[in-house]
Amino acid sequence: MPRHTRRALLASIAGALPLAGCTTGPASDPTTDGPGGTSPTANGSPSSASPTGPPGTPEPVAPDHDAVVWAVDVGGSLKSQPTVSDGTVHVAVGGPQLSTPTPGGDRPAGPVGTLALDDGSTRSWTSLPAPPTGSPAALGDATYVTVGGSNGYTGVDQRLVKVVDGEVRWQSSGVDYFLSLLATGDGRAYLGTSDDALSTSGQSLFAVDTSDGETRWRTTSGDAFEGALVDGGLLVDLAGQAAVHYDAADGNERWRIEGAPEFDGEGGASVVDGAVLVTVQEPSGEALAAVDLETGTERWSFDAAGEPPFVTAGATVADGLAVGVEYDGTVFGLDPADGTPAWEYAAGEEPTEPVAVDGTVYVGGGGAVHAVAPVDGTARWSVGLGGDVRRVRATPDVVVATRTTDAVAEFVALDPADGTVRWRFEAVDEYPLPVVSGRWTLLASERGLLRAFRA
């Protein structure tokens, strides 16, 4: 599957947005405020929607595994991943329901709250004005989450909500598109719209002030799924087809290049020596390129010695080198100056995106997890897990692999030093991908059970 298509699909799935085919339905102009593009709640005003009543707080559940430190039942489905920040777990419960609400009609609320990471105790818990549509984001003492509805092919009255200490402080203007929170920082939250007809036009980006929810700028764009603040600008992936760098202050476009920008999985862009890594289309097929952040010009590209089809499974930066993975499982390190290969490592079929932590690159492939030294590409260790390794996440304290076999998902925690298995957990419910922070791993089941494992 082409890299840009895979990225776009992953982004839409990660947002827990129900899609129905690839048709374009009627929707409001996302670049203007007008009928169908906003709800009766004014831009940036306090919530006027009346919650359906205070939701029940999470209930502790007895741990059912030796490595589980605490577990809670949040009283509803967990369709999006929780977020961890400064010892606090931010959780949004529920998800959009397929519906076409009448103007002014009630929308079913969804709870959002915070838990203490060390013991799972509830710190705050409150109703949202509508079901959450994505994972919460934390900035300072606030939780930000997109909410709204869906009619199957696009969003319905979706908006960003700010919650502090269990109180909804403001809601942004509503849009009848899927809404993604791309980045937060510098006193602003950056959002993008999309629908299920992927393109680089017909959508919008906008920035809202985190103090009051007022829109500071708005500009036209394509379907935006992922973004990051870098070098004073907002780097955005438009439908996996274009990497665009916008000025974060006013939304003006700095540069654009065809391709899919690479992100590091932790909310940042893959940047080396002032250039961002982008998967671009070359005459011979796909190539991994370094694009100058200031000018948008391509410094170099690497296409595996011109052996098409070259398709990246992801790229990151480690110890000053650009590190990428081909779909055939070849991991490579590239000189950031000119893109010449420094080393190669064979990880095996079905590779995962690489993760670089503390001077080591971790990647899954061939049913195993590999720890590779980025300086020369030698293996520090390799541990076979059986089945397909679908994802690897790591911190200096733990490496967590998601593997599947015979339709069963298993999560495996490994010691970063030598790959020793610390614990295994076989899922008996539907689980999103794990959240790894420090020594902690969180697994949230779709039916609403949140488990916290500690390495």
Distance CA 362, CA 416 (A): 9
Q: Report the pLDDT value the prediction gives residue 281, as an integer from 0 to 100.
A: 80
Mean pLDDT over the full length of the chain: 84
Distance CA 281, CA 298 (A): 12
Please answer whether residues 96 and 73 qualify as being in contact, where contact means their C-beta atoms are separated by less than 8 angstroms. Answer: no
Which residues are paired to 423 by β-bridges? 413
Residue-level length of the chain: 455
In a domain, 296, yes or no: no
Q: Is 368 helix (H, G, I), strand (E, B) or coil?
A: strand
Distance CA 37, CA 218 (A): 13
Q: Report the pLDDT value the prediction gives residue 304, as an integer from 0 to 100.
A: 65
Q: Report the pLDDT value the prediction gives residue 354, as an integer from 0 to 100.
A: 93
In a domain, 384, yes or no: no
Does pLDDT of 161 surpass 90?
yes
In a domain, 95, yes or no: yes
Kindly report the pTM of this predicted structure: 0.85
Q: Report the pLDDT value the prediction gives residue 286, as an integer from 0 to 100.
A: 80
Tokens of 379: 């293996």
Tens of pLDDT, residue by residue over 68-85, are 999 999 999 898 999 999
In a domain, 35, yes or no: yes
Most confident by average pLDDT, 206-210, 259-263, 316-320 = 206-210
Structural domain span for residue 229: 1-46+83-261
Q: Report the pLDDT value the prediction gives residue 22, as an integer from 0 to 100.
A: 33
Higher pLDDT pick, 407 / 271: 271
Q: Report the pLDDT value the prediction gives residue 198, as an integer from 0 to 100.
A: 87
Tokens of 106: 């009630």
Q: Report the pLDDT value the prediction gives residue 344, as an integer from 0 to 100.
A: 94
Sequential DSSP letters for 136-181: -EEETTEEEEEEEEE-SSSEEEEEEEEEETTEEEEE---BSSEEEE
In a domain, 228, yes or no: yes
Tens of pLDDT, residue by residue over 329-359, are 999 999 999 999 999 999 999 999 999 999 9
* DSSP H or E stretch at residue 301: strand 298-302
The share of the chain scoring above pLDDT 90, in percent, equals 66
Counts for the chain of helices (H) and strands (E), in that order: 1, 38
- Residue 346 CB neighbour total at 10 angstroms: 15
In a domain, 29, yes or no: yes
Closest to 300 in 3D by CA, of 292, 310, 289, 309: 289
Does pLDDT of 107 surpass 80?
no
In a domain, 447, yes or no: no
Average pLDDT value for residue range 120-128: 95
Among 70-74, 225-229, 325-329, name the one with the lowest average pLDDT. 325-329
Q: Report the pLDDT value the prediction gives residue 16, as an integer from 0 to 100.
A: 35
In the sheet with 435-437, reading across from the earlier edge strand, the strands are: 59-61, 68-73, 449-454, 440-444, 435-437
Q: Report the pLDDT value the prediction gives residue 315, as an integer from 0 to 100.
A: 86
Q: Is 34 helix (H, G, I), strand (E, B) or coil?
A: coil
* DSSP H or E stretch at residue 237: strand 233-238
Among 27-36, 218-227, 403-412, name the one with the lowest average pLDDT. 27-36
Tens of pLDDT, residue by residue over 16-66, are 333 222 333 333 444 443 323 333 233 333 333 333 344 578 999 999 999
Count of the separate structural domains present in the chain? 1
In a domain, 242, yes or no: yes
Q: Report the pLDDT value the prediction gives residue 287, as an integer from 0 to 100.
A: 87
Among 132-146, 210-224, 313-327, name the one with the lowest average pLDDT. 313-327
- The sign of the torsion formed by the CA atoms of 2, 7, 9, 13 equals positive
Does pLDDT of 194 surpass 90?
yes
Average pLDDT value for residue range 132-142: 93
Among 88-102, 225-239, 281-295, 300-314, name the one with the lowest average pLDDT. 300-314
Distance CA 277, CA 416 (A): 26
